[in-house]
Amino acid sequence: MPNVSVAFGAILIAVGAITFLVTGAAPPTALIPAGFGLILLALGMIARNPPRRKMAMHIAAAVGLFGFLGGATGIPKMIRHLSGDVIQRPVAAAEQTIMSLVCLLFVALCVRSFVNARRSKAAGT
C-alpha cells in the first residue's frame, strides 16, 4: 500500500502542476491537488518503514477522504458543463472532479487493504 500512496500522490501532483501550467493561473489554487499529492507521497514514503506503516496509511486514507470531499464540489459543476450549460472556470471544475475521483479511488483501495489486513490477522490468530 505504501507504493500505491506514492503513485496516487504523484498523479495528484501531476494534475495540479499541469493545470497550473496550462491555465497560467495567477492564484495558486490550481496547485491544491499537488498539495494533497505531496502529502500522500510523503506518507507513502513514511509507510515504507514497517513500524510506521499502519499510522501513515491511516493518515493517508484520511487525507484522501478530505481530498475527495474538497474536490467533490466540482462534480455538479462538471455535470452541468457536460450537459451544455455555460459555467465559470470549466478547467477548475474539471480539475476538482479529477482530484475527487482520484482521491475516492485511493480511499477505496485503502479501505480494501485495511479490511484484508484485519481478515488476515484474524485468520492468523
pLDDT in tens, 10-26: 999 999 999 998 887 66
Residue 8, C-alpha cell as written in the block: 496516487
CB atoms < 10 A from the CB of 57, how many? 22
Is pLDDT at 2 greater than 80 in this prediction? yes
According to the model, what pLDDT value does residue 42 have?
97
> Rounded distance, CA 2 to CA 100, Å?
20
Cell numbers 487525507 label which residue? 63
CB atoms < 10 A from the CB of 73, how many? 13
According to the model, what pLDDT value does residue 26 have?
65
The band of 125, judged by pLDDT with boundaries at 50, 70 and 90, is low
In this predicted model, what pLDDT tens digit does every residue of 92-119 receive, in sequence order?
888 999 999 999 999 999 999 999 988 8
According to the model, what pLDDT value does residue 75 have?
87
Is pLDDT at 36 greater than 80 in this prediction? yes
Residue 24, C-alpha cell as written in the block: 497560467
CB atoms < 10 A from the CB of 7, how many? 14
Mean pLDDT, the chain, integer: 91
Is pLDDT at 43 greater than 90 in this prediction? yes
Q: Is this prediction's pTM over 0.85?
A: yes
Residue 98, C-alpha cell as written in the block: 479529477
